[in-house]
Structure 1
Amino acid sequence: MRPRTAWQAMAQRPLSFLTSSWPWRSLAYLATGVVVGAAAVAVFVTGLVAGLVLLVVLVGAAPLVGVVLSSITVAAVERRRLRLIDLDAMANPHRSVAEPGPRAWVSARLTEQVTWRELLFTLVSAAALWWLDLLVLAFSFGLPALTFASADRSSWPWAVFGAVVLLASPYTVTSWAGARAALARTFLAPRDGELGESLREVHASRARLIDSFDAERVRIERDLHDGAQQRLVALGMTLGLMRLDIPEGSPLTAQLTEAEHQLSVAHQELRGLIRGLNPPVLADHGLVAAVEDHAGRFPIPVTVDLRLPGRLPRQVETGVYFLINEAMTNIARHSGARNATVHGRYHSDLLVLEIRDDGLGGADPASGTGLTGLADRLTALDGRMRVSSPPGGPTLLHVEIPCHFG
């Protein structure tokens, strides 16, 4: 799976990460952070001083309002800069203004909560973040430059220390860039109530599709159980009656035996299909029991270590069950593994799953290993995943799904 963030790239491929574009993207993120932070300080100081000076003549409110609104520009620039180390675009949380004119725009922006979060982020960025960016860059590159410039025979240990710091700089820079980006997303990502109308409709439409697929799956399972399966049972009874009418030694006996065998195989396959469409153990006993039941019938040994504080919401429970099933199917088809493990825990409104196998590794979405299908299932659950699958194995699928227990 192609990494979506700098942190994912560093965690999935610690060595090949050095030759990728991610260290350079992280460096560009911090370097531009210094520039943007310094500019924000200049604008804030100028606006604040002008506002306080002019406040005595009752016109100081305009510069102060300008300081607040300038944070919108800073936040917009930050959202664009985040694309350097996080490929998932962040939606604009500001709502559209119904009335034309600058007065309506200013009034709308000042009444939005996101504007004040952006102001807080700009203050934090101006007061601390860009200084930390500068400090990390100075430590990673300035310190080695100083040690090299002052190196002589008596101070060669400092030169060695500078070389070590320089060699570690891609990881140092990327680690701070990832932490800074996570903090920026905390301030700037839209809350549920701030999503645009079109995005809310997308979420509602996706929820309707999931409900529709669930209902259709249940309908197909019921039709197969009440229709095709019952017809196979009736056909078996008919073949049994035919056997009673055939005299002993008839050449039709062998053909009838083969027909009964094929009917039995078809019946077993249909029962497996019905159980897979709507497993009763999932509805009756929950996700843990359903995964353990599926693992018990899996062609390779699977250790299930799944602990949950209760029953998940029905949609999430069903989605996670089929996600795990598809991941296990990929292991059986593509990995050549002898053992597999399903590990799951619930932490702070986040379901964390790790599915591991000791197979050949080299899992790649482009090679048709089924990872694309898993990504599609996760999109429906608002989840994310990381894959570590070096050639020779092992393969680790790390999944995070936001959810709440009722």
Structure 2
Amino acid sequence: MTVDHGLAVALRRRRYLLSAWPWRALAYALTTLPLAGAAAFGAAVVAAPLLLVVSALRRGRPVDAEALAVLAVVALAVVAFAPLAGAPVAAVERWRLGLVDDRPVTAPRWRGLAARFTTATGWREGAYLAVLGVVLPLAYGMFGLLVLLDVALVAGPWLAGGEDRIVLVWATVDSPAEAVPYALAGLLAVPALVYLAGLLVAAQAAVARRLLDDAPGGAALREVTRSRARLVGAYEAERRRIERDMHDGAQPRLTALTLQLGLARLDVPDDSPAAKPLAVAHEQAKELMVTLRGIVQGIRPQQLTELGLAGAVGELAARSVVPVTVRADLTRPVPDLIETTAWYVVSETLGNVARHAGAGRAQVRLTRDDRRLVVEVRDDGRGGADPARGTGLTGLADRVAAVEGRLLLSSPPGGPTLVRVELPCRP
């Protein structure tokens, strides 16, 4: 089992500066520069003539109508070309997101050139190209000025002392001694700049995921809803029925079986070959009674008590016939009922993956924030899961809704499939 901490989450950690995340953010920022530079150059080629025309109009100078028409055509052509130009940039960006966010990014499945212009995904990729060419150069430029200012402060003692006086921020210094306090302030500002760089990169990554991750679009995450009154009543009726059947049928028979095995142990000598197997069978019968009673009464699975949610889910993954990766970010305690619900959700969903998805791999992600626990199970199978064709997903929705949570599903034909469950965690 691996523990996942995305950059946005890592920024809230006390040991952020001592971790690898600042270096990963730096790598992401450095690899952004050539992409943003190329996009900014393209934006400047289009924007420069338009700015000249606007400037001429503001000064009252005449502008040729043909020139305006040509510029309008060029601008429209650039906008129309954006979905095509954004495709290679989006492919690189989906790969680069792994530097600061370990969650997989779903790429669209294109069906011809026309799909670039007729789907929202193509225009979202064009919008991200605009973000790269316009917004990010401004943001990175402002951050670069702050870095240069800090470097000047730190280097002040070495720059001062010459024939010319130097200006540091708002003060003029004549000697290295006068520049030392500014250098100390610059050194103290370095951690703040590292955090600011992390925030800038995290914001860029969030925008990139929002625009380039195709999982929430197309066959969008749709909530699998059920009638709250119906499901609560049905759940309680079914629980009472199972409890009654167990109390009147299975439990007396198990009790009789346990007693018979206990009496048989008394009649079998300790040195008999049957003594040990008989003792094992007796203990297993008693454990089975406890297990059945616990299931009916709603007691937590034993794995949760012993290992916690992350460990119990890791054990489910280890037993799965499909390779499963578990990524857990559980920084706060989870209520017992929510833990139990999440465990059953993962157990049932992984069972569905093994039985129906035809998947080669699956991933489970657990995230806990101030208000909720989010469980995501993703597989690379054939997709096409539909709650209307079976009771498995609606049964899960019933269980989740019983604790005031919600279940969302994305499963376009051809995959991948994403099941997302949001469970409330009240303080």
Normalising to structure 2: TM-score of the pair? 0.51
Deviation string, structure 1 residues 344-366 (Cα, Å, up to 9, x no partner): xxxxxxxx993279xxxxxxxxx
Check conservation: 1:4, 1:88, Cα contact below 8 A. Answer: no
Residue 261 of structure 2 contacts residue 281 of structure 2 at CA under 8 Å; is this kept in 1? no
Residue 355 of structure 1 is matched in structure 2 by: 333
**Residue 274 in structure 1 maps to residue 273 in structure 2:** no
* Other-structure match for 2:154: 148
Q: Does 1:115 align with 2:117?
A: no
Q: Which moved more, 1:225-234 or 1:61-70?
A: 225-234
For residue 354 of structure 2, what is the aligned residue in structure 1?
none
Instruction: State how far apart, in whole Å, the 2-side matches of 1:119 and 1:182 are.
Output: 16
**What's the CA shift for 1:132?**
1.4
3-state secondary structure, aligned to 2:332: strand
Deviation readout 1:40-71 (Å, 9 max, x if unpaired): 12213435678995954997554442244212
Equivalent position of 1:400 in the other structure: 374
The letter of the residue matching 2:178 is S
Match in the other structure for 2:166: none
The 2-side partners of 1:63 and 1:272 are apart by: 70
Amino acid corresponding to residue 401 of structure 1 in structure 2: V
> Relative to 1, partners in 2 of residues 1:30 and 1:195: Cα closer, same or farther, differing over 3 Å?
farther
State the partner residue of 1:85.
100
Relative to structure 1, the CA distance from residue 326 to residue 178 in structure 2 (aligned partners, 3 Å threshold; closer, same or farther) is: farther
Superposed CA RMSD in Å reads 5.1
Note the C-alpha offset of 1:92: 1.0
Deviation at 1:108, TM superposition (A): 1.9
Partner of 2:90: 75
For residues 135 and 28 of structure 1, what CA distance do their matches in structure 2 show? 19
Q: Does 1:328 align with 2:305?
A: yes
Partner-residue secondary structure (3-state), 2:102: coil
Confirm or deny that 1:164 pairs with 2:181.
no
- Length-normalised TM-score, structure 1: 0.53
Q: Which amino acid aligns with 1:158?
A: Y
Structure 1 residue runs without a partner (length 5+): 98-104, 197-217, 243-250, 282-289, 295-321, 335-351, 358-372, 388-397
Aligned match for 2:131, one of 124, 145, 153: 124
Q: State the secondary structure of the residue aligned to 2:366.
A: strand
Q: CA deviation at 1:126?
A: 2.5
Give 1:404's aligned amino acid.
R
Q: CA deviation at 1:189?
A: 1.2
CA distance in 1, matches of 2:344, 2:180: 53
- Rounded to whole Å, the distance in 2 between the matches of 1:94 and 1:240 is 63
CA 20–185 in structure 1, closer or farther in 2 if over 3 Å, else same: same
The whole-number CA distance in structure 2 between the counterparts of 1:119 and 1:93 is 14
Show the 5 A alignment for 1:229-248.
Answer: 231-235=253-257
How many Å separate the matches in 1 of 2:145 and 2:349?
A: 40
* Structure 2 residue identity aligned to 1:150: G
8 Å Cα contact 2:89-2:129 kept in structure 1:
yes
Identify if the C-alpha distance between structure 1 residues 63 and 331 changes in structure 2 by more than 3 Å, giving closer, same or farther.
closer
CA–CA distance in 1 between the matches of 2:82 and 2:98?
26
